[in-house]
Amino acid sequence: MIQPVKEKIILGIDPGTNIMGYGVLKVTGTRPQVMTLGVIDLRKCSDPYLKLKHIYERVQGVITSFLPDELAIEAPFFGKNVQSMLKLGRAQGVAIVAALCRDIPVTEYAPLKIKMAITGNGQASKEQVADMLKRMLHIPASEMGPFMDATDALAAAYCHYLQMGRPELPKAYSSWKDYIAKNPDKVKK
């Protein structure tokens, strides 16, 4: 009997207080495919608390539209400006809560780990990450958009896909002797 191909949808988020990126990756069996990528533009909202509300509502909207099974989110990196870190942490927290309110498990990845998973170089530029994703996932240039935040979010989702490991494929046997050798517990003596 053939087993149905397992499917998983991963939402990736690159948190930001001005531009927050998101990318949705659908994995069927071992094949990843981009469902969407985009940004939540928060630049016109000057009230920091209303920004958080907007982040929550928009992330909920993406979740409603694509029904992800898991969320992969980029961890804020330590910067010199404490206020910026605080704002970024709040934005990340709101996005995480939006997922948890829908019972979606969350995994956080350091920027270095994401870059390493995508390009093999933890110090890669945003442009290098975007270019590698474009080639690996066959994304047309027209869909890349002007903001690297969307491709950074997609990179978080793709990193998570790589961390999931490959689904176990059914065992293949060349003969009955091969089957018995690989499954001694299933043979009555």
Between CA 140 and CA 143, with CA 141 as vertex, the angle to 5 degrees is: 70
Residue 95: alpha-carbon gap to chain centroid: 13
Which SS3 state, helix, strand or coil, does residue 189 take? coil
Which SS3 state, helix, strand or coil, does residue 4 take? coil
Among residues 149, 152, 168, 178, the one annotated as catalytic is: 149
Among residues 7, 14, 70, 143, the one annotated as catalytic is: 14
Q: Are strands 7-14 and 70-74 parallel, antiparallel or unpaired?
A: parallel
What residue numbers does the annotated binding site cover? 14, 74, 149
Which SS3 state, helix, strand or coil, does residue 84 take? helix
Among residues 74, 127, 131, 143, the one annotated as catalytic is: 74
Is 70 noted as a catalytic residue in this protein?
Answer: no
Report the DSSP beta bridge partners of residue 75: none
Is 74 noted as a catalytic residue in this protein?
Answer: yes
What residue numbers does the annotated binding site for Mg(2+) cover? 14, 74, 149
Is 69 noted as a catalytic residue in this protein?
Answer: no
Give the catalytic positions in this structure: 14, 74, 149
